[in-house]
Structure 1
Amino acid sequence: MRLRNRALVALLLVAGGTAAGCGPRHSDRAVITVDAPVALADRPIHLTISGLVPHDTVEMSAAAQDYRRDGWRGRAVFRADGRGMVDLDRARPRSGTYTGADGMGLFWSMVPPSGDPDASAFIPSYPEQRPAYDVQITVIAHGHRLAGRTLTRQWLTPGVTHKSFTVAADKVDGDLFLPPTGRGRHPAVLLFGGSEGGNSGEYEAALLASHGYPALTLAYFRDPGLPATLQDIPMEYFARAARLLTAQPGVDPAHVVAQGYSRGTEAALLLGQLYSRLVHGVIVYAPSNRVNRGLGARGQGGNAWTWRGRPLPQGVIPLDHIDGPVLAIAGAQDQLWYSETWARQIMTELDRDHDRFPHQALIYPGAGHGVGTFPYLAAGVRFPASTGVILEHGGTRAGDAAARAQGWPRTLAFLAAMGG
């Protein structure tokens, strides 16, 4: 009799399957819920997974293709809670490409299919070529794909327009992004990069226009029709671009902002100082507060900037004529140069000049030279210079990502306070 009872109990356990823990430990009812499946690329989204086996281990991944169609991937392993859910805003990965609770961690921590992630950056197609890129979210448990969903990250909202300028036709080299017409006048941004040369600000300019701010991203050397090196760049070139931006529909001519990154911060501050009637605010990322030497084909040499046909002397940039607010953003672990110190010195000089406009330095402790600008794209912390030398930008991928996530809204708030 006892043997028959034992056999019956064993049969019931087998029939019970997953309830007894002997069946497959995965769910076929997993659901990916997201608050914004289609959203601007700089907007954080909120992802949850439900319908999982309570306390089960699952892997989530985010995959996207860069402009070369190379596949990048972020991943994280989680343990579901007692309700069979994972909330990415609150859950800490057990392992993966990032650590700590971070709802956007899968995005900024993506790594390339090969090579060193710290020496790579995820670069999608230009916004004027593709107005968005897709991210594939996948949930896997015990080798089984439980759920998948495609998210669309936009650069351009409907109605945003693009126009290219060339030196041959327009005497400037840049890309203009304008918000939809008929929405009044708004602050506009003239932005440019640093010692990398060329024009790399299309993504940011497209996002600014999508937020309602006309934006012109400018190349000033190492592009067709421009000087080959960062030497003897005339400030009149930047002023010409600012006037071109001012003349565009939807631009408030009384609120034009110059924004520079790294070596471009020298030009932004100089533009605000020398052309105070044209430029009414300055934003600088990883800044310098001084004119540094030019960059020739083999390194430093010569003068970087000229004005009225004469070289601008090296040394601290006067700021007493800047006629508008100033925002400086720096990483405390910048190893490329002393951007934290120089950001603070910019504020000190403005205070000494009794500047009447708001001015603020934002210093992010875990970030390096890659402290900006918009968030959620994967980027490394060291890159080769044009000379082939590896430049250590300092900070960490996580530190830079956190700085961008916090700093970008402050940039948008800076523009909004000007009347956007």
Structure 2
Amino acid sequence: MCFCTRRPSPKSKAWRNFDSSKCVYLLRAIPYVTEKWGHQSILREILRRSAQLQPCQALSTPRGEVIQVNPKISLFDQRVHITVQGLPQNAKVTLHASTDSEWRRAPVKFVSCSHFVTGQGGEVDLHNDASLGGSYTGVDPMGLFSSMQPSPAGPRNIRMVLKNVDNPCLYTLSVYSGHLTLSDLHTSHMTHPPLSVTTIPRLAKALDVRRVPVREGRVRGTLFLPPGEGPHQGVIDMFGFAGGLMEFRAAMLASHGFAALSLAFFGYEDLPAGVGGVEFDYFQEAAQWLSSHPNVKNGGVGVVAVSGGAAFASLMAWKCPEVVASVHINGPPFYIFRDLYRKGKLFRKGVRLDRSLTPYTDEGLSTKPGYLYKLEDFIPVWESSTRVLLLISGDDEQIQPEFGDMLYDMYPEDKRHLIEVVHYPGAGHLLEPPYTPYCRHCHNPPFATSRLRHLHHILQRSVQLQPCQTFSTLTSVPDLIQVTPRVSLFDEKVHIRVQGLPSNAKVTLSAATQQEWRREPVLFASCSHHVATETGEVDLNTNRSLGGSYTGVDPMGLFWSIQPSPKNVRMVLKDVEKPVIYTLSVYSGHVDLADLRSASSEGKCTPLASTTIQRYVKAVDVKRIPIKEGSVRGTLFLPPGEGPHQGVIDMFGLAGGLMETRGAMLASRGFATLCLPFFRFDDLPQDLSEVQFDYFEEAAGWLSSHRAVRDGGIGVVGTSGGALFALFMAWKCPEVTAVVRINGPPFVGFHSVYWKGELLAKGNPLDITKFWQDGEGVDIKDGFVYKLEDFVPVWETSTRLLTLISDDDGQMKPELGALQYDMYPEDKRHLIEVVHYPGAGHLLEPPYTPHCRYCYNPTFNTDLQWGGYVKEHAEAQEDSWKRILHFFRTNLPQ
């Protein structure tokens, strides 16, 4: 396919390949893309990348354009034809679709997959071939789109809402070898690379539709106008009680020829904040404004509305002569909740909701049994000549499906031709344009507000009870606890707020996560005690913790103060692809952590509300690549983009094995990071004494020559025993230009180091008579035997060194930092920086990693005492992480 910004010269190669019928739509897109994205190459790049192939382990790499989509650019409600070609015959393959969206200001990914067996020609055609499994089964050309759901890695209660209708929704289509589930694809995407990938844009708004913000009188919204002067048929489009402005359906209506006004009525600009402040005059004014617009045909306008908006549509059909046709989608036939006023007088009494009849489930609140209505409450649309189309979903949890037939029966016989009722068995409340992902449950702001009031009453009634003895629970109401962002990186701060509490109420906030230690599940937990403000709010950015796991104002206190039970456990994340799931809860009264643990285990302590959040050590767009190159073993983490990136080798200590947490976090901050084990992993030596320096030299050479790593030098960060080898690399590897030493010895410990078969540095045995032990394990720091000449002479090089020293380290003497600094000649001391952290312990890790004072070490086969105090250690981790990132960014090649 040719893609040009102008017609090519008849003599050029582009002209010989030019197909005007295929290019015309893309050429129309160019001015739009230039205006909105500032660069004409965006769609061209999409199409160029869509033809690129990636290697596959199971099948040979196909040639040519493997995934073909026609048309390549389409409207959101338009069908496309997807074929896959060039595969082996009778091969099992998985097609995968994904798109990025946003929900409540957090990024979310929607995904789907389908399983096929290729035909004799090695082809899969979604128009003809049946999906055998995955997100849907059977023949469905659009099955990959209609079956999309939020990623298995994230929450399920998400609705796809297109915030910016000017931007296309970009779908990535991939084909994989074998039949894979969505969970397989999420957890093993690096071990199952796609055979081929393409990207297609789908537009909610046609390129030639005009989007016009509207602020006319009191009317607020957006008018979408089809191309041409018109006049066009006019439609008002409204949504429900989520509030705000939703434009995507109006944009799609305009793309099909209607002048569509997307009408907000509360929670937008200067409109009322809640639906209770809305008056009917507003809707009358909107109908009059649109019907008199020069681009709208005379004779009447239509209205389409969903949910609570449909009640206003019914009122407009009844009382606005400009409205001649109305579509009501899963809305009540009566006005609900608040009384409605018109011209300052009561116009319609609201039907109340009995909350004792509205059940809470794991999927949220179902309101349909709770409406206290009578037949005389029905809006008498039959008194007008407006045509009405009712669309009713049979599995709607908010509106009773029988309301449609009841309204039909209210019409006199001679007027029933004006109403049509259509039922959709099995469909849910949010009946939206085609190929919008199905949403079974999600957050709704007005109901969250009413639930806050419900919680307020619970707390008022429970104030006389003992802590944790509340008689009611709102664990299915997560939005009482608000966390921003809800999905975050592990080193990223979050904002936690609890709203809707009684004034000055005493509450306890808790955080908990379950991890694994030595193949056993371990619960980490923390808590904080607060007194709500006069407005019933606890905001961890400003509200002081009076007790619990920490005290004072600290937005991240619940995370850094989290502790395991039993205590001798270190949080080691085995799978960096998976998020760390934290459960945040709020309890009545001030409860300490021990009481909270025991009461919860006995089922005596029920939270007022709970929510879960996800924290990732690896950003979703960071690649994880297992490494087995020569003798080098480990994992390479690559940031997004082709690079090259600043390169870093990451090593830990004498526990052995492979630890990926810090390497994944470094890559999430832009570094190409090799997590390098050196014993007790794969086919590496099982004993530290067998490790030779040649291994580290090879690793430095391999990473520095990697195409994704910048030329000119790499960095190394090492903790404990790994810090010693980092110093040797600084001394002997010219590729290493910057090193971070974290609580490691500056000399060889109890094992000699060999290089190229010869002794590089002689080890000194530990004096075990100087070890001491208490209930928190063995402290070995006094057992090291050394002389100053044993120090690794890093000062002989020009390598930059950052030495981080914890002053309460149970394994290393803090004065070793100053001794190392003193070994540097005066003219080279600018190359070394030594930072001391009073009260911090040995295991200085990235921020918000729980403090571990002592735990088991396999090399010593006993608990070792790491030292440190929780608050001081947390402060050291936060400061040291910032220093490490800054050190590498400024001292590695720019």
For Structure 1 versus Structure 2, the TM-score category normalised by the shorter chain is 0.7 to 0.9
What SS is found at the alignment partner of 2:873?
A: helix
CA separation in 2, counterparts of 1:133 and 1:125? 11
From 483, 504, 514, give the equivalent of 1:65: 514
Deviations 1:290-319 (A, max 9, x none): 12222xxxxxxxx2x112322213511112
Counterpart in the other structure of 1:285 = 742
- 2:846 aligned with 1:382, yes or no? no
**Equivalent of residue 329 in structure 1, options 776, 785, 804:** 804
Deviation of 1:234 after TM superposition, in Å, equals 1.6
User: Once the 2 structures are TM-superposed, how far is the Cα of residue 232 of structure 1 from its aligned partner?
Assistant: 4.7
Q: Does 1:239 align with 2:697?
A: yes
| 1:268-417 paired onto structure 2 within 5 Å | 268-275=726-733, 277-294=734-751, 303=752, 305-311=753-759, 312-314=761-763, 315-338=790-813, 340-350=814-824, 352=825, 354-355=827-828, 358-370=831-843, 372-386=844-858, 387-417=860-890
Is 2:552 the counterpart of 1:100? Answer: yes
Q: 1:149 aligns with which of 611, 614, 634?
A: 611
What corresponds to 2:719 in structure 1?
261
Residue aligning to 2:497: 48
Distance 1:316 1:70, change over 3 A: closer
Residues 207-254 of structure 1: CA distance to partner in whole angstroms, max 9, x if unpaired? 111111010111111223222222152211101111221232321131
User: Whole-Å Cα distance in 2 between the matches of residues 321 and 308 of structure 1?
Assistant: 21
Contact 1:221–1:227 (8 Å) recurs in 2: yes
Q: After alignment, is 27-36 or 314-323 more displaced? A: 27-36
TM-score (norm 1): 0.83
Q: Secondary structure at the match of 1:288?
A: coil
- In structure 2, distance between residues paired with 1:210 and 1:104: 20
Q: Which residue matches 1:177?
A: 637
CA–CA separation in structure 2 for the residues paired with 1:121 and 1:151: 21
CA contact (8 A) 1:287 1:342 kept: no
2:570–2:855 CA contact under 8 A, matched in 1: no
Q: Go from structure 1 to structure 2 and tell me whether the alpha carbon gap of 1:343 and 1:186 turns closer, same or farther (over 3 Å shift).
A: farther
Q: Distance in 2 between matches of 1:406 and 1:272?
A: 24
Residues 810 and 866, structure 2, Cα contact 8 Å, conserved in 1: yes
Task: Give the equivalent residue in structure 2 for 1:14.
Answer: none
- The residue correspondences of 1:188-267 to structure 2 (distance < 5 A) are 188-200=647-659, 202-267=660-725
8 Å CA contact retained: 1:330, 1:364: yes
Q: Tell me, in whole angstroms, the C-alpha distance in 2 between the residues paired with 1:172 and 1:401.
A: 33
Q: How far apart, CA to CA, are the structure 2 residues paired with 1:290 and 1:127?
A: 32
Alpha-carbon displacement from aligned partner over 1:174-212 (angstroms, at most 9, x marks no partner): 111111123x32221111111111122x01111111111
Q: Which has the higher strand share?
A: 1
Q: Aligned equivalents of 1:381 and 1:264: distance in 2?
A: 19
The 4+ residue runs of structure 1 with deviation greater than 4 A are 21-24, 26-30
Distance 2:542 2:711 in 1: 44
Amino acid paired to 1:216: L
Q: Deviations over 1:245-281 (max 9, x none)?
A: 1232321131301111111211111111111x21111
Separation in 2 of the partners of 1:122 and 1:287?
A: 20
Paired residue secondary structure (2:689):
coil
- The 1-side partners of 2:826 and 2:726 are apart by 18
Q: Which runs of 5+ in 2 are unaligned?
A: 1-455, 464-469, 590-604, 764-789
Code of the residue aligned with 1:63 in structure 2: it is A
Report 1:14-163 matches (<5 A). 23-25=461-463, 31-67=480-516, 69-112=521-564, 114-115=565-566, 117=567, 119-128=568-577, 130=578, 132-141=579-588, 145-163=607-625
Report how far residue 69 of structure 1 moved. 4.8
- Report how far residue 367 of structure 1 moved: 0.4
2:569 and 2:855 in contact (8 A); partners too: yes
1:186–1:92: structure 2 CA closer, same or farther, 3 Å change rule?
Answer: same
Tell me which moved more, 223-232 or 140-149: 140-149
The AA in structure 2 aligned to 1:317 is: V
Distance 1:322 1:84, change over 3 A: farther
CA contact (8 A) 1:186 1:255 kept: no
Query: Once the 2 structures are TM-superposed, how far is the Cα of residue 364 of structure 1 from its aligned partner?
Result: 0.6
Instruction: Indicate if the aligned counterparts of 2:580 and 2:616 stay in contact, CA closer than 8 A.
Output: yes
Q: 2: distance between equivalents of 1:243 and 1:330?
A: 29
Q: Deviations over 1:363-400 (max 9, x none)?
A: 11010212x22011224211223233321112123322
1:56 aligned partner, one-letter code: A
Partner of 2:671: helix, strand, or coil? coil
- Tell me how many residue pairs correspond in the alignment: 380
Aligned partners of 1:103 and 1:162: how far apart in 2? 31
Provide the rounded CA distance (Å) in 2 between the counterparts of 1:69 and 1:103: 27
Asked whether the equivalents of residues 206 and 215 of structure 1 are also in contact (C-alpha less than 8 Å), the reply is yes
Q: Distance in 1 between matches of 2:740 and 2:890?
A: 13
1:141 to 1:256, Cα distance in 2 relative to 1, 3 A = same
- Aligned-pair distance for 1:357? 5.2
The residue type paired with residue 886 of structure 2 is A
What is the distance in 2 between the residues matched to 1:368 and 1:72? 19
| Among 180, 186, 194, the residue aligned to 2:645 | 186
Distance 1:291 1:60, change over 3 A: same
Percent identical residues: 27
Q: Is the 8 A contact 2:527 2:548 kept in 1?
A: yes
Shift of 1:50: 2.5
C-alpha displacement of 1:286: 0.4
Distance 1:413 1:83 in 2: 41
Contact 1:188 1:251 in 2 (8 A): yes
Contact 2:507/2:586, CA 8 A, preserved across alignment: yes
For the structure 1 residues 22 and 324, does the alpha-carbon distance in structure 2 shift closer, same or farther, using more than 3 Å as the test? Answer: closer
User: Which of 48-57 and 139-148 deviates more?
Assistant: 139-148
Kindly indicate whether the alpha-carbon contact (under 8 Å) linking 2:501 and 2:537 is maintained by their aligned counterparts in 1: yes
Distance between the aligned counterparts of 1:245 and 1:406, measured in 2? 28
2:736 is paired with a residue whose SS is: coil
CA distance in 1, matches of 2:615, 2:490: 5
Q: Which amino acid aligns with 1:218?
A: L
Structure with the greater alpha carbon radius of gyration: 2
- Structure 2: how far apart are the matches of 1:173 and 1:395? 32
SS of the equivalent of 1:82 reads: coil
